[in-house]
Amino acid sequence: MSNYSDFVTAPKVRTVAASAQSGSLTPNIDTTDVFSVSGVNGAVTFQIPSGNSIDGQRLVIRIEDDGSAQTLNWTTSTSGYRAAGNELPTTTTAGKVTYVGCMYNNIDTFWDVVAVSTEA
């Protein structure tokens, strides 16, 4: 940012907490930039985001379990999630936070997973 006024007017990140800790979870891309799931206590399936995806739009999924490793599943059909240089995580690491960074690819109609990082 070149000056203070740019900083002050920078868009705010829209963080939404998931309403459940297991089962099917669907981020709403119209209202969410960061989809936070904490206390995961069972298998989770991340469904195709609802809303109107825009080419280049970003979505970060933050996942933290309840202290026990849990299974993660991803909808990988058209408009779903696709590995793009990173593997889609299939389990949580007990007691650690995992971030999954996605970018919408309008040409191929997928949420490309471009970054995966788990707390050390």
Q: For residue range 54-90, what is the model confidence (pLDDT) as tens digits?
A: 999 999 999 999 999 999 999 999 999 999 998 999 9
Count of structural domains, the chain: 1
CA 52 – CA 77 distance, rounded (Å): 17
Is residue 3, in this structure, part of any structural domain at all? no
Instruction: Give the CATH number of the domain where residue 30 resides.
Output: 2.60.120
SS3 of residue 5 by DSSP: helix
Is residue 42, in this structure, part of any structural domain at all? yes
- Asked whether the whole model's pTM tops 0.85, one would answer yes
Is residue 90, in this structure, part of any structural domain at all? yes
Q: What is the DSSP string of 46-90?
A: EPPPBS---TT-EEEEEEEESSS--BEEE--STTSEEESSSPPP-
SS3 of residue 8 by DSSP: helix
Report pLDDT for 6. 59
Which phi and psi (to 5°) does residue 51 adopt? Answer: 100, -170
Report pLDDT for 1. 47
Is residue 84, in this structure, part of any structural domain at all? yes
Is residue 6, in this structure, part of any structural domain at all? no
Is residue 4, in this structure, part of any structural domain at all? no
Distances (CA, A) of 41 to 2, 8, 32, 89: 44, 39, 23, 16
User: Which residues are CB-neighbours of 8 under 8 A, at least 6 positions away?
Assistant: none
Q: Which domain holds residue 70?
A: 13-118
Is residue 1, in this structure, part of any structural domain at all? no
Q: For residue range 9-54, what is the model confidence (pLDDT) as tens digits?
A: 667 899 999 989 999 999 999 999 999 999 999 999 999 999 999 9
Work out the angle at residue 80's Cα, subtended by the Cα atoms of residues 70 and 47, and round it to the nearest 5 degrees: 45
